Amino acid sequence: MQFLDPLRFVVKNQLPLLIHYASVSFSEIFSDTSIRQLSQMLLSLIFFHISEYILAITIHGASNVTLSSLLITKHYALAMLLSLLEYLTEIILFPGLKQHWWVSNFGLIMIIVGEIIRKAAIITAGRSFTHLIKINYEEHHGLVTHGVYRLMRHPSYCGFLIWSVGTQVMLCNPVSAVAFAVVVWRFFAQRIPYEEYFLNQFFGVQYLEYAESVASGVPFVN
C-alpha cells in the first residue's frame, strides 16, 4: 500500500497548515475592519442608487422613469465586483493595508461630499436634469446657472467622480481607486463635449458665455 504514503504525508503535515491558513483567511474576512468597511460600502451603494431612482420619480413622475434610473449597468456591476475581489484578496494577503483608517475615513468623506454635490445638482436642475442626454429641446428644459451650477457646469458629474473614487479609497483599494478615477474621468471627458454640443444648439450664445466663465467641474476637461 505504498501509494497511501504520500496521502498520509499530506494529511499529517499539510492539512493542518491548510486548515490554519483557511481559518486565518476567514478571520480576516469577518474581522471588525472588513465588517465596518464592507458595511459602509453596502450602505453607500444602496443610498446612492435608491436616492437616484426616488429623485427621478419625484421630479419626472413614475410613468416617465424606468429602472435604468437606478444607474446599474453591466460594466458598473462588473467594476464593483472586481473591486470587491480586490478587497477580499488584499485583506487576506495584506490585512495591514486595510488598517489605514485615516485613508478609509477620507474615502468616507469623499463619498458624503460626492453625494451632496450630485444631489444638490439634481435638485437644483429639477426637470432640466435627466440621466440620459437630451438631444431634442423640450419646453421645460431651461439653462440652469444658479446654485451649485454657479460653481461648475456639470456638478452631477463632479459629484459622481468624487463618490465613485471615494468608495474605493474608503475600502483602501489602491488598484480600484486608480482604475475608477481613470475610467470615470475618461467617460465624462467623452460625454461632456457630446452633451454640450446639444446644449449649444438649445441655448446658443447664452450657453457659450456660461461655458466660458464657469469650469466644467471635471478636472482637465474644459
Residue 1 lies in a domain: no
Q: What pLDDT shows up at residue 28?
A: 60
- For each of the chain's 222 residues, which pLDDT tens digit applies? 555 555 455 455 555 544 544 444 545 666 889 999 999 999 999 999 999 999 999 999 999 999 999 999 999 999 999 999 999 999 999 999 999 999 999 999 999 999 999 999 999 999 999 999 988 998 878 999 999 999 999 999 999 999 999 999 999 999 999 999 999 999 999 999 999 999 999 999 999 999 999 999 999 999
HSE at residue 32, side-chain half, CA atoms within 13 A, is 2
Provide the pLDDT for residue 82.
Answer: 98
Give the closest residue to 114 by CA, choosing from 179, 64, 33, 168. Answer: 168
Tell me if 94 is assigned to some domain: yes
Q: How many domains does the chain have?
A: 1
What pLDDT, on a 0 to 100 scale, did the predictor assign at position 31? Answer: 83
The string over 29-62, giving b where at least 16 C-beta atoms fall within 10 Å of a residue's C-beta and e elsewhere, is beeebbeebbebbeebeeebeeebbebbeebbee
pLDDT score recorded for residue 18: 43
- The per-residue pLDDT for 140 is 79
Query: Which CATH number belongs to the domain containing residue 169 in this structure?
Result: 1.20.120.1630
Assess if residue 148 is contained within a domain: yes
| pLDDT the model gives residue 10 | 47
What local confidence, expressed as pLDDT, does residue 153 receive? 98
Q: Residue 222: inside a domain, yes or no?
A: no
Looking at residue 21, what is its pLDDT? 46
Domain-embedded: residue 67: yes
What distance, in Å, lies between the first and last C-alpha atoms of the chain? 76
Report if residue 220 sits inside a domain. no
Is 52 among the domain residues?
A: yes
Q: Is residue 219 part of a domain?
A: no
Domain ranges, residue 100:
8-211
